[in-house]
Amino acid sequence: MTFTLLTALAWLAWQAPASAPVPRIVRASIPERPPGAQQTTVTASSAWRVLTRRVVSKAAVTSLSRRLESMGLTPVIIEKEEDVTMHAFDDAILFKSSTEAWEASRIWQSYGIVSSVIHAEEAGVYLVGLGRFFQARYAESMQQQLEQTGRKYRYQQRTVPIQSWRFTFAPGDKQQAESLWEKLHATGVIMPALMPEAEFQQLYGEMKEVKPAQ
């Protein structure tokens, strides 16, 4: 019995779960501009580049493409597999049977939380999944919803490689790039970053360019 329990915990341990979620972990802030853009010294004639934050779904790529085009902009989409942090929320209990797990799932759903039952076959237990998120702001929103229920849950992080996309634009001088950055930032939805072209090429120059979906 002890060995089975230890096996189950090892299978689940992406990292040791805290007894309660730690808001500081979920709410990790993302700087508006990458540190390199602030620390790199360039001449007035150097080219600068604006690009958006990482997008992790094709639906979001299509939506963002249309929004940028409606603003009169011609974006270039770059694609690459990147390591991202996945925020996972589950019921705090590991269930021995699917019946128990489904009952717990129905309770979560009564609070308006979309949940699913996951069978960890190797560990011989069932989990009630409460959400998987790749963006900290969505994880924070879920955390707030779960806190309101008063029920116990488990929060874990896992680094996973996923296909992701970014939008960028033709490079320009620093004044042009800053003007574009301000225009995108003002939308409140598109989160742009600003950096020298040399830094952009070093970080993203090898990314594959793709055409936006029609």
Burial of 200 (0-12, 13-18, 19+ CB in 10 A): buried
Q: How confident is the model at residue 206 (pLDDT cuts 50, 70, 90)?
A: low
Question: Percentage of the chain surpassing pLDDT 70?
Answer: 75
pTM (whole model) above 0.85? no
- Rounded mean pLDDT of 198-213? 69
Q: How confident is the model at residue 211 (pLDDT cuts 50, 70, 90)?
A: low
- Phi and psi at 176, nearest 5°, equal -65, -45
Q: How confident is the model at residue 108 (pLDDT cuts 50, 70, 90)?
A: very high
> Is pLDDT above 50 for 12?
no
Q: What is the pLDDT of residue 207?
A: 58
- Rounded mean pLDDT of 124-129? 93
Q: What is the pLDDT of residue 184?
A: 92
Distance CA 93, CA 12 (A): 12
Mean pLDDT estimate for the chain: 78
> Is pLDDT above 90 for 128?
yes
- Sole residue written with tokens 């634009």: 169
- Per DSSP, the three-state class of 47 is coil
- Rounded mean pLDDT of 74-88? 88
Q: What is the CA radius of gyration of the chain?
A: 21
Q: What is the pLDDT of residue 183?
A: 92
The alpha carbon of 174 is separated from its chain's Cα centroid by a whole number of angstroms, namely 29
- Phi and psi at 140, nearest 5°, equal -65, -40
pLDDT tens-digit readout, 18-65: 333 333 333 333 333 444 444 444 443 489 999 998 887 888 888 888
> Is pLDDT above 70 for 173?
yes
Distance CA 51, CA 204 (A): 10
Range name among 27-41, 54-68, 91-105, 114-128 with the lowest pLDDT average: 27-41
Q: Pick the closest to residue 73 from 186, 195, 168 (CA basis).
A: 168
**How does strand 125-133 pair with strand 76-91?**
antiparallel
Q: Exposed e or buried b for every residue in 82-113, given b needs 16+ CB within 10 A?
A: eeeebbbbbbebbbeeeeebbebbeebeeeeb
Q: How confident is the model at residue 104 (pLDDT cuts 50, 70, 90)?
A: very high
Distance CA 9, CA 5 (A): 6
> Is pLDDT above 80 for 118?
yes
- Domains of the chain (ranges; CATH) run 48-83+162-210 (3.30.70), 85-160 (3.30.70.1070)
> Is pLDDT above 60 for 116?
yes
- Rounded mean pLDDT of 169-181? 91
